[in-house]
Amino acid sequence: MNALCGGGWPDQMISAALTDKLSKWLDHQRALAGAAENTVKAYQTDVLGFLGFMTTHNGEAQGLGPIARVTVRDMRAWMAHERGRGVGARSLARSLSAVKSFYRWLSEREGFEPTAVLSTRAPKFQRKLPRPLEVQAASDMIDRVELQSSEPWIAARDTAVVTLLYGCGLRISEALALTGADIPLPEVLRIVGKGGKERIVPVIAPARDAVAAYVKLCPYPCTNHEPIFRAVRGGVLSPRVIQKVMEQSRMQLGLPATATPHAMRHSFATHLLAAGGDLRTIQELLGHASLSTTQAYTAVDAAHLMSVYARAHPKA
């Protein structure tokens, strides 16, 4: 049995044939679905946890035969077990999604009926929405960040990063992944986001100016294969540095603890929408796979959604 059966699970938990299928599915997620390695590891943990329960529940190791015979009652027993050991609704929904994805892939290759698994409903949970800053607060945050360091190039660096988050709606990981090949910043950036998904992002003049000012002051060379944003000693800048600078700034401004780097991206989307931006366009700018994610992300109320619909739909 290979390393898939690590993590405290008994070696006899799943058959060699099922182990091989699980490995191939995980490879499929990496290669074709574009899942990040941390996501793949989470999928592996979720599916192995499910198979571990089924082994105990049914009193037999899980192979291609037993896994094809899982019933609705088995699924309910697994979910009840997970909730009973304190797994939250959000985490259980994620685990169920991984199990369904594996079953869908496996059933197509093994020719069994996966309805019992695929029809299982995820538990409901309240989606936590990031809170946007007011327009003036977002502007104040950018100005205040610059005052947190007496070293001009560091002050310019932090200002440039936060300006990119708010001005372009970038994730902090995306901003810090920019390299010298992106300098000078063009009017449009090609960003590779989560899962290797590529999107086009317009770069407003203040963001281009902020990055140019930083590059001019930075004591480290800005080569094509090196990150633009450097730590004090020249290494890769950690997201935690920007988080800390924003913590200091928001306390000085009297802003809530929710004024984080991610809140700047959220503010970008919310302010665009409030100004009349189209949801589908904002979805593309943020790099969301589905429109429903954008709706939740921007905390759109039903009345505003209907007004956007009424203005945009040709038959409205």
The answer as to whether 188 is a domain residue is: yes
Is 194 considered catalytic here?
yes
Identity (one letter) of the amino acid at 142?
Answer: I
Q: Is 230 a catalytic residue?
A: no
Question: Is there a single domain that holds both residue 110 and residue 49?
Answer: yes
Note whether 152 and 300 are same-domain residues.
yes
Q: Which of 21, 171, 266, 271 is catalytic?
A: 171
Q: Respond yes or no: is residue 266 known to be catalytic.
A: no
One domain for residues 179 and 76 = no
User: Higher pLDDT residue, 302 or 177?
Assistant: 177
Q: How far is CA 18 from the centre of its chain?
A: 29
124 falls within a domain: no
Which residue is listed with tokens 């009840």? 80
Q: What would you report as the CA-atom Rg of the chain, rounded to the nearest whole angstrom?
A: 24
Catalytic residue among 208, 250, 266, 288: 288
Domain residues for the domain of 61 are 3-118
Angstrom CA distances, 31 to 26, 118, 290, 313, stand at: 9, 23, 21, 38
Whether 313 is catalytic:
no
Number of domains the chain contains: 2
Catalytic residue among 81, 90, 194, 304: 194
Catalytic one among 144, 157, 208, 265?
A: 265
Q: Which of 43, 103, 166, 297 is catalytic?
A: 297
The CA distance from 240 to 256, in Å, is 18
Question: Measured in whole angstroms, how far is the alpha carbon of residue 237 from the centre of its chain?
Answer: 20
Same domain (yes/no): 74, 165: no
The 10s digit of each residue's pLDDT in 216-249 is 999 998 888 899 999 999 998 999 999 999 999 9
pLDDT tens digits, one per residue of 96-135: 999 999 999 999 999 999 999 999 988 876 656 567 788 8
Residue 261 lies in a domain: yes
| Residue 244 falls inside a structural domain | yes
Same domain, 292 and 198: yes
User: Could you give the dihedral angle defined by the CA atoms of residues 64, 68, 74 and 75, in that order, rounded to the nearest 10 degrees?
Assistant: 100
262 is catalytic: yes
12-29 pLDDT, tens per residue? 577 888 889 999 999 988
Share of the chain above pLDDT 90, in %: 42
**Residue 141 and residue 112 in one domain:** no
End-of-domain residue from the set 118, 143, 174: 118
